Structure 1
């Protein structure tokens, strides 16, 4: 379940005042409807332009996500909005980011947005290899017991949450919400996005042809990718059994389709 969403005027006066020390006077605070892991997500409209602010209670169950995102931000390329300030006081932890206007990309077959998504994933894999010197969890640890570690071990900083709502397409495509980064083999983010394409109506074969445009995925070991698809199905089946959610079932079905396709392919087709 997502955390309870707070609003600007729920914050203590002292916290709001400290935010304004960074932003200047706030003309209007607009709560955003999206963002499953944020207790507070706002566009703060100021005299010098909008600022995106996210965060929550500093001792809450999601506070570690905000801290992780703040640590990683300085190492990320310019396709990621810059962290401008952090405020932590009176039980609240808030992050202020460069505002990134835009819409979420469309992933269905024929969408012109697919080119930008492929280009961004290729750029991120290239620029974030080797992994910057930021403390993040190895993917081998995150998926311990699901897959042989050597199949996903690598030295690329990964995002790992390839939901379309984390992409914003304006004058260029940006990738936001780096609250779950880890270190692993460079093709993992593309594999996560491939499942989203199947969910959006692509056949697994079509989604793999798209993914092959990203050099890291095109060079991936066939057995490793197939093992990843199998592990993803088992992981999402386990989550669905423990905490059923309507949005998970179509993604699980897409992962199953992809895994079946992998099992029926010949390695030479990679």
Structure 2
């Protein structure tokens, strides 16, 4: 396997494991005779293999905010993807952070550049959230990332978005909605987070009923996930989603 990787990447002089946030079995920066490359993957028949294959399939259709996939190697029971190395730090989402403008600019650009959705097979968001929300409220023709954890953003000379292993096709405002929850978790009030989000045209133009329904569905889905498979990050995200949902409901006119 190493020889096959070196055939594509050059002789490996050093490998540095990703320090945190990796959900895959292998996540390393390779320092090779041809330069640096980010390498991720796992067992070719393992539970995560379909995610690696999906990311490899979609990468050629992504704008340059996503690092390029250079090669894919499948050998001896392993599946490994080699990407353009994208150095940088994760953006700060706390109130007052200068990174917030950069994140908003990127989300606006992605919604614009990935509408209409490229001609690649991806799951409709309405199918992923089947039974949680009326399909017409989240339906659309934008290619979405859907995993807005700050760990998937790398800010170097520009902001990049990595790990496109869970893409969907749906309404253009959905990625911004997922990011808005992250802002609330980082300390923003729901009202302040929404004021940030309306700088992104796709969100500013979204139907208010759809956004409120989205917050309700998110609370129910993440609550179910936290009960069935508790994780340290899920509790704070669920609390942030609940705050946003309560804020949306507080703005609705009282029933006659």
Please report the TM-score for the alignment, with normalisation by the length of structure 2: 0.97
Structure-1 separation of matches of 2:19 and 2:49: 19
Structure-2 separation of matches of 1:192 and 1:36: 20
Deviation sequence 1:62-118 (CA, Å, 0-9, x none)? 000000000010000001000000000110000000000000000000000001100
Residue 256 of structure 1 pairs with residue 212 of structure 2 = no
Aligned to 2:61, the other structure's residue is in SS state: coil
- Root-mean-square deviation (CA, aligned residues, Å) is 0.9
Match of 1:117 in 2: 103
Task: Return 153-162 or 45-54, whichever deviates more.
Answer: 45-54
Shift of 1:266: 4.6
Match of 1:26 in 2: 12
Correspondent of 1:91 among 59, 69, 77: 77
Match of 2:89 in 1: 103
Structure-2 separation of matches of 1:262 and 1:92: 46
- Contact 1:35–1:41 (Cα < 8 Å) also in 2: no
- Contact 1:83–1:97 (Cα < 8 Å) also in 2: yes
Structure-1 separation of matches of 2:132 and 2:252: 23
Structure-1 separation of matches of 2:78 and 2:232: 32
Structure-2 separation of matches of 1:34 and 1:123: 28
Task: Return 257-266 or 167-176, whichever deviates more.
Answer: 257-266
Structure-2 separation of matches of 1:246 and 1:93: 29
Gap runs ≥5 in structure 1? 1-14
Match of 2:137 in 1: 151
Structure-2 separation of matches of 1:55 and 1:47: 21
Q: How many residues of Structure 1 are paired with residues of Structure 2 in the alignment?
A: 253
- Contact 1:117–1:173 (Cα < 8 Å) also in 2: yes
Deviation sequence 1:105-163 (CA, Å, 0-9, x none)? 00000000001100000000000000001110000000000000000000000000000
Match of 1:9 in 2: none
Structure-1 separation of matches of 2:21 and 2:116: 29
Match of 1:50 in 2: 36
Match of 1:235 in 2: 221
Structure-2 separation of matches of 1:88 and 1:58: 7
Aligned to 2:133, the other structure's residue is in SS state: coil
Match of 1:11 in 2: none
Residue 140 of structure 1 pairs with residue 126 of structure 2 = yes
Please report the TM-score for the alignment, with normalisation by the length of structure 1: 0.92
Aligned to 1:74, the other structure's residue is in SS state: helix
Aligned to 1:94, the other structure's residue is in SS state: strand
Aligned to 1:230, the other structure's residue is in SS state: helix
Task: Return 119-128 or 45-54, whichever deviates more.
Answer: 45-54
